[in-house]
């Protein structure tokens, strides 16, 4: 309930660095239920999880392990 109240106060973006797909799905669902326009950005460890999060409404999914491996 606290989270929903915070979202109602004009939040424009929610960023989660939790690498748990279940928690992120709940975060996305709750955020979008309050306001579809709130941008949701989450982190994923795997491509299949990233695609799942996009399917659940995430606006951006960052994959830091993939990005750092690519640069290395």
pLDDT in tens, 10-52: 889 999 998 899 999 999 999 998 889 999 999 998 999 999 9
CB neighbours of 26 closer than 8 A, spacing ≥ 6? Answer: none
The predicted pLDDT at position 68 comes to 62
Cα angle 13, 15, 19 (rounded to 5 degrees) comes to: 155
Q: What pLDDT is stored for residue 11 in this prediction? A: 87
What is this structure's pTM?
0.82
Q: What is the pLDDT of residue 71?
A: 57
User: How much is the average pLDDT of 41-68?
Assistant: 90
State residue 23's pLDDT score.
92
Q: Are 1 and 27 in contact (CB under 8 A)?
A: no
């Amino acid at each position: 309930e606290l989270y929903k109240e915070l979202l109602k106060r004009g939040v424009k973006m929610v960023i989660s660095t939790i690498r748990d797909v279940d928690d992120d799905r709940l975060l996305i669902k709750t955020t979008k239920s309050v306001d579809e326009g709130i941008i949701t950005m989450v982190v994923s460890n795997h491509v299949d999880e990233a695609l799942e999060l996009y399917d659940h409404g995430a606006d951006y999914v960052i994959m830091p392990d993939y990005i750092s491996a690519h640069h290395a």
